[in-house]
Amino acid sequence: MNKLALFLLLTATLSAQNAREIVAESQKRAQAGSQRYEGTLEVIDAKRKITTKRWIYERLGSAGDSKALLRFTDPPEVKGVALLIHNHPDRASDQWMWTPAVQRDRRIAFQDRRTRFFGTDFTFEDLEERDVDRSTYKLTGEESIDGAPCWRIEATPKPEARSQYSRSLLWIRKSDFVFAQVESFRGDKLIRRLKYAQIERVQGIWTARTLDMHDVERNSRTILKLEKLEYNVTLPADRFTLQALRRLS
């Protein structure tokens, strides 16, 4: 191997190591044993028609090895619909949806993970928590988002992650290691752009209180606002089971 090839190899290796360390630090700083918030979702379709939904989100565990329960509370036609997510550090999550109208739960098949979750611009996959080790990383530059200097990192899911996206671009703020933006691609085509805003310190954790998901193909957006947000709250483990899901009304 000549000197130029060796230099390029070492540079690429260093870039990958630094990129992974940045993402790992972001995950570490956001770590909490549990989380709860009430979410307001403003769904804006391609014709600019706006509908509003509300859900309650609870999570127990962290860093990809966690369980989460998401339950719609409004409007009446979706009230009680719930999604149970069991996240895993080394593979895609297991998900089950409860529909009160038919009083039954349904396991979300892998091929359905790319579909929209109940009229929002978040897919089932977008709602899962992804551990840092489920992707490989490359530092591709630096760029400011909304005036905040950021690292720009390319993340490529490992085969076992079984993602609908072939790669994502991550913008992570240098000041606090909070995500500022994520662009997700299928091949060379941009599919979704997620922007993070209203970044505040909540119980010592820098947190984006507003998430704006743009479905580029549909030209629609869902703006999620986190209200009554709490970390490290007491949540019973048996709440995040199929048995508990079936008891929801």
Mean pLDDT for the chain?
Answer: 90
With contact defined as beta carbons under 8 Å apart, do 27 and 203 qualify?
no
C-alpha 11/C-alpha 16 separation (Å) is 9
Q: Which pLDDT score is estimated for 3?
A: 47
pLDDT in tens, 123-145: 999 999 888 999 999 999 999 99
pLDDT in tens, 81-114: 999 999 988 888 999 999 988 878 899 998 899 9
Q: What domains, with CATH codes, occur in the chain? A: 3-246 (2.50.20.10)
For 241, list phi and psi in degrees, rounded to 5. Answer: -125, 160
Nearest to 223 by CA among 35, 38, 53: 53
- Threshold 0.75, pTM exceeds: yes
pLDDT in tens, 35-89: 999 999 999 999 999 999 999 999 999 877 899 999 999 999 999 999 999 998 8
Q: Which pLDDT score is estimated for 131?
A: 86
